[in-house]
Amino acid sequence: MRVEKHPILEFPMKAEIPFYYNGELIKGFEGDTIASALHALGIKVLSKSIHHKRARGFYCAIGNCGSCNMTVNHVPNVRTCMTKLEPGMIVESQEGLGILK
């Protein structure tokens, strides 16, 4: 969910940034982190825990918890809540520790 209209505040238009999520081309906006862009698009599960494979999502937003670890441009365990979105990024959900490709 994104706040697009507010009775008092103005939100300037931002450039769209296309990126790939699990092979699908989607778009975020300039200034988004990967996790915030996915959350705004309704994607809540970012990874799964190492031992029990439980769903993990956008939690602390300051890089402490590791719930947002994903594989970004073939590098596993990237904290997506701290990583700015860039055009053409390849973002993949991750299960467990991830695999370096």
Q: How far apart are CA 45 and CA 14, in angstroms?
A: 25
Matching CATH number, 16-93, of 1.10.10.10, 3.10.20.440, 3.30.450.150, 3.50.50.60: 3.10.20.440
Q: How confident is the model at residue 101 (pLDDT cuts 50, 70, 90)?
A: low
CA dist 77 → 8, 86, 98 (Å): 39, 17, 7
CA dist 48 → 27, 39, 61, 100 (Å): 23, 16, 17, 17
Which percentage of the chain shows pLDDT scores above 70?
Answer: 88
The residues spanned by each domain of the chain are 16-93
pLDDT digit string (tens) for 61-92? 777 777 788 899 999 989 998 999 999 999 99
For tokens 């970012």, what's the residue?
46
The number of residues in the chain equals 101
pTM reported for the whole predicted model: 0.80
- Tell me the pLDDT of the chain averaged across its residues: 83
